[in-house]
Structure 1
Amino acid sequence: MLTEEEIADTRATLTELHVEHHDLDQVIDHLLLNPPPDDLLIRRLKKRKLLLKDRITLLEGMLEPDVHA
């Protein structure tokens, strides 16, 4: 069980991760629409975006009550 402080910290982290994920999405879209795209850069940004999404999912799972408890 998370303490109130841990919950607040996790929510703040989630907010930051959501913002970064959204920003990366916009950068990737911009790079794809404005040639010449740097394929390696786009792949790295997409990988970072996926890592962020995984971390967001993990943290959101920590905040939700365990339905099996």
Structure 2
Amino acid sequence: MNDDEDLSDTEERELHDRVKALRQEHADLDAAIEALGAVPVPDQLRIARMKRRKLALRDEIVKIEARILPDIIA
């Protein structure tokens, strides 16, 4: 796919939908991490895995958002 080409309306809508789903998953993980951290003996390995997944989601969100609104060189 060529990054210089404009996205079609359908592609842009699909990317927005994907970002929305990723943001929801990110928020769900945040809530789960908070809940796991509140138990008397938290599972640190599970929390660490969830945090890594959260970071991967954030990276994917940023990448998709860059496709939707690419930098404009003036």
**Range of TM-score over shorter length:** over 0.9
Quick one: distance in 1 between partners of 2:38 and 2:14? 36
TM-superposition CA deviations, 1:32-66 (whole Å, max 9, x none)? 11121111100100000000000000111111143
Quick one: distance in 1 between partners of 2:25 and 2:36? 16
- When normalised by structure 2's length, the TM-score is 0.86
Partner residue of 2:50?
A: 45
Identity rate of aligned residues, in percent?
39
Partner residue of 1:27?
A: 32
Partner residue of 1:4?
A: 9
Segments of 4+ in structure 1 off by > 3 A? none
The number of equivalent residue pairs is 69
- When normalised by structure 1's length, the TM-score is 0.92
Partner residue of 1:63?
A: 68
